[in-house]
Structure 1
Amino acid sequence: MFKDKKIVFLGAGSMAEAMIAGMSASGIVKPAQITVSNNSNTERLKQLQRKYGIHGVPKEELCYENMDVVILAMKPKDAENALISLNHHLRPHQLVLSVLAGISTSFMEDLLPYGQQVVRVMPNTSSMIGESATAISPGKHTSQQNLSIAQRLLQCIGEVFIINESQMDIFTGIAGSGPAYFYYLMEHMEKAGQSGGLDQETTRQIIAQTILGAARMIQEQEESPEVLREKVTSPNGTTAAGLEALSKNGGGKAISRAVKQAAQRSKEISAQLETKKLKVI
């Protein structure tokens, strides 16, 4: 499916690198098929080229006509200008994927040539090791074949979920921003372990294995997180004491609020860009 496909990333930040790393490591897409570009940081392009064996090409030297898949990976605030500049370069057969939080398919379709096939994508930074939870939503002109191409391509970097675009903001709050929540939790668990006498590296590995094991239990056991939690919580035991402390200190509410606030921010970004676009029009 991807033997002769050429892919270009517009934007060379951490998300672009995570996806490039995952795709390159998968073997399904060869590094020579991938190009990355940005507005001005040529040193960053050289760095990615050396590291992954891909092509780093300055924006003004790109030949869009040779590309099959165009992945928008710049900052959301730069999306409008990028889409406008693409308008005169794209052809109907080319597929546009956007990994930008808050950028709707309708926003892209309005600024690209009529009928352009677009897919909104929300991966996370676990793409780098092929373990992303990625959501995709097709635009109104996107064919089933191109949706399948997007799905297969993104399976190079982890699990892919096709969802309604109206669900993309909450998905962003859960999975797009989710790794950072777990890193934050791990930071605090690591500090607690060190204060209890464990060295930092040992504590870090213990925490990582514990989270990995819990995740595997969810994936492999046909039981809900609630049931699994109850099974490991003995009355008046150590786990019960820890959970009581979490509850008293707002642990559950904090997690829910983090997801909802990230989702709300995704909505706000979308609304801001739509308002800006309407003023320009």
Structure 2
Amino acid sequence: MSQLTQTSIASLQICFYGAGSMAEAIARGIINKELIKANRISMLNRQNADRLTELNERYGVQTILQGKENESYLQEADIIFLAMKPKDAADAIAGIKAFISPNQLIISVIAGLSIQSIERLLGGHSAVVRAMPNTSSTIGLGATGISYSDRVSAQQTLLTEAIFSSVGINAVVDESLQQAVTGVSGSGPAYVYYFMESMIESAIKLGFSEAAAKELVVQTVLGAAEMVRHTGEEPAELRRKVTSPNGTTQAAIELMQANDFAGTIEKGINRSAERAGELGAAIERSISE
């Protein structure tokens, strides 16, 4: 990051409209990387005061409980993150239209919601970014797909990528790929957790204590991921290296193949991407009604 960009970001006001797990993950990453001070970040929701209290006490971010109205935080923000649930998005975004100005950058992390829909809800004059991060952003290991509207300036592009780089890696993609990003990396951590759950349960059934099973599985998954990153080799090649002919690993892999393990993963990813499209279509219908 250039010194100019770093200085520019540090002086910004950022507002998260929606205070769920994704908003928290991004805010926490930004704060932990000391990109922006916590008191320059506001987090808003419609009615959950307990959640706002929790976020303020945990990170030092600003909320309506610190004395300002939601409208003030929105008007003062340089960057507004749209992070509400998809089912609430159309009404919530339309509801803040009066407080948005053309010089603000709007970054949406709402699954399935298109740039065109956001522009339509805000009146067509906003610079809009569509992004799909994942919750690993919380620890600086996120993966984010980013798409830009035509109104996003070169400086706003730099700011956006600097923010998401502070919480992991990012890739600029054509918006047509955003549903696929949701299916692969957006939902991806949950697939890995589900796999780990199954491994832990299997280890316990084989006689390990719960603590020992978890420790073995976590280290195994961590080591496998680091092997791919450290060696630069393809996962398939690393798998072949540890799969001796007629050995224990081959026996397990053959059983998984016979039960269409790869096909199940593919179907799951495709279904996640498809669901993102369904959520977007539902929002489109609600806008048109």
Q: TM-score range by the shorter chain?
A: over 0.9
Residue 16 of structure 2: aligned partner: 9
Q: After the TM superposition, which residues 103-182 of structure 1 pair with which residues of structure 2 at under 5 Å, given as runs?
A: 103-182=113-192
Whether the 8 Å contact between 2:182 and 2:273 is mirrored in structure 1 is yes
2:24, 2:48 → 1: CA distance?
14
Q: After the TM superposition, which residues 208-223 of structure 1 pair with which residues of structure 2 at under 5 Å, given as runs?
A: 208-223=218-233
**Deviation, structure 1 residue 108:** 0.4
Q: Which secondary structure does the structure 1 equivalent of 2:190 belong to?
A: helix
1:197, 1:116 → 2: CA distance?
58
**Deviation, structure 1 residue 16:** 1.4
**Deviation, structure 1 residue 187:** 0.7
Query: Could you list the per-position Cα deviations for residues 137-196 of structure 1 after superposition, in whole angstroms to 9, with x for gaps in the alignment?
Result: 111211222121111011121111111111111110011111111111111100111112
Identity %: 38
2:214, 2:132 → 1: CA distance?
28
Whether the 8 Å contact between 2:71 and 2:99 is mirrored in structure 1 is no
2:105, 2:187 → 1: CA distance?
26
Tell me which of 259, 265, 274 is aligned to 1:249. 259
Give the root-mean-square deviation of aligned CA atoms: 1.4
Does residue 41 (structure 1) correspond to residue 70 (structure 2)? The answer is no
1:267, 1:273 → 2: CA distance?
10
Residue 33 of structure 2: aligned partner: 26
Tell me which of 101, 105, 108 is aligned to 1:98. 108
2:41, 2:285 → 1: CA distance?
34
Q: Name structure 1 gaps, 5 residues minimum.
A: none
Structure 2: which amino acid aligns with 1:226?
A
- Greater Cα shift, 69-78 or 55-64: 55-64
Q: TM-score, normalised by structure 2?
A: 0.92
Structure 2: which amino acid aligns with 1:51?
R
**Deviation, structure 1 residue 86:** 2.0
Structure 2: which amino acid aligns with 1:54?
V
2:93, 2:150 → 1: CA distance?
17
Residue 273 of structure 1: aligned partner: 283
Structure 1: which amino acid aligns with 2:168?
G
Whether the 8 Å contact between 2:97 and 2:123 is mirrored in structure 1 is yes
Q: Name structure 2 gaps, 5 residues minimum.
A: 1-7
Tell me which of 206, 209, 220 is aligned to 1:199. 209
2:90, 2:276 → 1: CA distance?
16
2:147, 2:37 → 1: CA distance?
25
Whether the 8 Å contact between 1:127 and 1:158 is mirrored in structure 2 is yes
Whether the 8 Å contact between 1:90 and 1:113 is mirrored in structure 2 is no
**Deviation, structure 1 residue 60:** 4.5
1:144, 1:238 → 2: CA distance?
54
1:227, 1:258 → 2: CA distance?
24
Q: Which secondary structure does the structure 2 equivalent of 1:62 belong to?
A: helix
Residue 76 of structure 1: aligned partner: 86
Q: How many residues align?
A: 279
Q: Which secondary structure does the structure 2 equivalent of 1:88 belong to?
A: helix
2:36, 2:70 → 1: CA distance?
23
Q: Which secondary structure does the structure 2 equivalent of 1:268 belong to?
A: helix
**Deviation, structure 1 residue 28:** 1.1
Does residue 62 (structure 1) correspond to residue 71 (structure 2)? The answer is yes
**Deviation, structure 1 residue 201:** 1.6
**Deviation, structure 1 residue 203:** 1.5
2:124, 2:189 → 1: CA distance?
36
Whether the 8 Å contact between 1:119 and 1:136 is mirrored in structure 2 is yes
1:68, 1:219 → 2: CA distance?
36
- Greater Cα shift, 45-54 or 21-30: 21-30
Structure 1: which amino acid aligns with 2:174?
N
1:217, 1:2 → 2: CA distance?
35
Whether the 8 Å contact between 2:44 and 2:70 is mirrored in structure 1 is no
2:212, 2:157 → 1: CA distance?
44
2:47, 2:287 → 1: CA distance?
24
**Deviation, structure 1 residue 241:** 0.9
**Deviation, structure 1 residue 62:** 3.3
Query: Could you list the per-position Cα deviations for residues 214-246 of structure 1 after superposition, in whole angstroms to 9, with x for gaps in the alignment?
Result: 112222323222222212211111110110111
